[in-house]
Amino acid sequence: MKLVRFCAEEGRPARLGVWTDAGILDVAACARKYARYAGEQGGLSLPESPLGLIRDAAALDTVRDFVERAVADPEARATADPEAPGVLLDAGKVRFLAPVPRPSKIICIGLNYRDHCIEHGNPIPTLPVVFSKFATAVLDPGAPIVCPRVTGKMDYEAELGVVISRGGRHIAREEALAHVGGYLNFNDVTARDLQKLDGQWIRAKSCDTFAPMGPALVTADEIPDPQNLAIACRVNGQVVQNSNTVQMIFTVAYLVSFLSEFMTLEPGDVIATGTPPGVGNARKPPVYLKAGDMVEVEVEGLGVLSNPVVDEE
């Protein structure tokens, strides 16, 4: 399932939804409408976020049942009005929010695509290059990436994001994917001048709005092989990155196992698995993001993450 957080309009409370071909299914409305079919009386208690849902197998099954019922129900469709009686909303009339708004950790991997290493003239790493972003960098789909006044070289990086649903230490590689609850599009926005100036990457990577993610958290059962997904980035409609996760040096399973060797992975951790070639900094001449640009990140099966670019006021 494609799990989303959304609101009917700016300022409204966040709600849990499922993105279907028929529209956005409002999970709370379904719990009220269809609870009796689940053998419940007086309503049904369900998680209120995608993260809560991927941690609860029984709740996931209940929501799958809701999807089947709603799609077949002629009275299910409604407008985006939060007071509407229906449970299927028009996707074009809701505002999508980051599926994981405050990750417990954002763990990033550098130089994890063979073709990206070649692009920069770097040797192929023998161990993952690990750094992090802060949760204050998280940005909703459709919200503007803000170019801060401290940089003039803001760059895009399309990445596959991995969301942990089962935590732990010393996770065996053959069991690692069982700890993954889902996947999402991730844009590892980077201030290249700060990255070069500092010699380490925290400031360059953690500016506010530098971690757009979404629009959906796609459950792991829909992505049976995370190592064979097309991945692309477009700026103003022009393809600037175009590769496949088969190019990853360290697989998702390897990364989950490797990271758990020295830190406790927790439900809600987001792992950004690295970017393919085509970043603006490597172009000749370099091309950086500027106000008025529109950036799109697309990973096969995960939808499209779109964000405009503005300057800091």
Give the position of tokens 């070289």. 153
Give the position of tokens 């209120």. 48
* Domains held by the chain: number: 2
- The answer on 93 and 112 residing in a single domain is no
Q: Range of 33's domain?
A: 2-97
Question: Which pLDDT belongs to residue 277?
Answer: 94
Q: Is the pTM above the cut of 0.95?
A: no
Question: Which pLDDT belongs to residue 35?
Answer: 65
- The answer on 305 and 165 residing in a single domain is yes
Please report, for the domain that includes residue 208, its CATH number.
3.90.850.10
The domain boundary, picked from 97, 119, 142, lies at: 97
Question: Which pLDDT belongs to residue 272?
Answer: 98
Question: Which pLDDT belongs to residue 168?
Answer: 97
Residues with Cβ < 8 Å from 181, sequence gap 6 or more? 51, 54, 55, 163, 164, 165, 166, 217, 219, 220, 267
- The answer on 196 and 79 residing in a single domain is no
Helices of type H across the chain: 27-34, 50-54, 57-72, 114-120, 192-198, 202-205, 252-260
Contact 206, 190 (CB under 8 A): no
Question: Which pLDDT belongs to residue 279?
Answer: 95
- The answer on 252 and 129 residing in a single domain is yes
Contact 141, 215 (CB under 8 A): yes
Question: Which pLDDT belongs to residue 232?
Answer: 98
Going residue by residue through the chain (313 aa), what tens digit of pLDDT does each one get? 999 999 977 778 899 999 998 899 999 888 877 765 444 444 567 888 999 999 999 899 989 988 888 888 877 775 444 444 468 888 988 999 999 999 999 999 999 998 888 877 888 899 999 999 999 999 999 999 999 999 999 999 999 999 999 999 999 999 999 999 999 999 999 999 999 999 889 999 999 999 999 999 999 999 999 999 999 999 999 999 999 999 999 999 999 999 999 999 999 999 999 999 999 999 999 999 999 999 999 999 999 999 999 999 8
Rounded to whole angstroms, the Cα distance separating 189 from 49 reads 25
- The answer on 118 and 225 residing in a single domain is yes
Rounded to whole angstroms, the Cα distance separating 1 from 21 reads 11
What number of helices (H) and strands (E) belong to the chain?
7, 20
